[in-house]
Amino acid sequence: MERTNTENISVDLGITRCGSVEFIWGMRTYVMGIVNVDPASFSGDGLAGVEDAVEQAKRFVDEGADIIDIGGESTRPNAEPLPADEELRRVMPVIEKLAGILPVPLSIDTYKSEVARRAVEVGACMINDVWELKRDPGLARVAAEKTVPLIISQNQRDSSFHDFFPELIDSLKKSVHVALDAGVAWENIIVDPGVGFGKTVDQNLEIVRRLNELKVLRRPILLGTSRKSFIGYTLDLPVEERLEGTAATVAIGIANGADIIRVHDVKEMVRIAQMSDAIIRRKSTER
């Protein structure tokens, strides 16, 4: 299998505006802190109470998070779909309490356009769709109408690959065009290879290793490896012991072009990102 040639691609990703914040891509790696208000979260960090979620978000910001991603439905394999009204019951009070008091943007992690619309109306200013616009293409219309950034995460749970990496890139490319056709601005599209969503352990490792090939899409790349099962299988470790494995994937991911890392352990991963940036994005000036 031939790899996509990205060695000579120089990509100016420009600036994405999210609320009052500007993300200047290429300057540094941005950190997205995960706030799960689903008690059944795969990572063991699910929060049942609104106040617990609010306090965790505040702590993440103190630890250096650039974005807070709020989700109400588990993304673990074989999880029962959550009705939109129950998802709204979980996420809306958290967004309402955090909107206006945090200096960083709030993202809503959902694949339902109804949930996304309501969340944006009360203060979220980014939409994170883990189903790549396949479950509800209306999400793209919400992002376009509300003029908010849209994260498109590749998801292969309903089908299988024949030629893995080219098909992954092609899938994202098609979803990007769906977003553009719905009116989403080019600068408001962020892509995510969807580690863990219908991929094998080897495929997830390959994503981290070949992440730079996603540069052909010419959009910022989000990488979400935090605590995921491919780390557990590789190291034979339970979810609560995957910090070091996550750190390795984050550092290598940044070296291979990640612009945003989505993580549970914000303090530690902020430090990993800062050190990686000091090596990878270092300017010529010396201290």
Residue-number span of the structural domain to which 62 is assigned = 30-280
- Dihedral, CA of residue 258, residue 261, residue 265 and residue 268, to nearest 10: 40
Q: Which of 228, 271, 281, 283 is catalytic?
A: 228
pLDDT value at residue 199: 93
Series of mean pLDDT values for 10-residue runs along the chain (287 residues): 49 90 96 89 60 95 98 79 93 95 97 98 97 95 98 88 94 97 98 95 97 97 97 97 98 98 98 97 56
Written as one letter, the residue type at 183 is G
> Is residue 11 one of the residues assigned to a domain?
no
> Is residue 4 one of the residues assigned to a domain?
no
- 17 catalytically annotated: no
Contact indicator for 227, 246 with CB cutoff of 8 Å: yes
pLDDT value at residue 39: 75
pLDDT value at residue 100: 84
For residue 146, the number of C-alpha atoms closer than 13 Å in the C-beta half-sphere is 25
pLDDT value at residue 283: 56
> Is residue 264 one of the residues assigned to a domain?
yes
Supply the CATH number for residue 118's domain. Answer: 3.20.20.20
pLDDT value at residue 90: 94
How big is the CA angle at 179 (ends 110 and 67), to the nearest 5 degrees? Answer: 45
> Is residue 15 one of the residues assigned to a domain?
no
> Is residue 156 one of the residues assigned to a domain?
yes
Count of the separate structural domains present in the chain:
1
> Is residue 22 one of the residues assigned to a domain?
no
> Is residue 20 one of the residues assigned to a domain?
no
Total-model pTM: 0.92
Q: Which of 112, 215, 227, 262 is catalytic?
A: 262
Question: Taking the alpha carbons of 100, 101, 103, 105 in that order, is the dihedral positive or negative?
Answer: negative
- Strands 30-36 and 67-71 come out as parallel
Contact indicator for 249, 263 with CB cutoff of 8 Å: no
> Is residue 112 one of the residues assigned to a domain?
yes
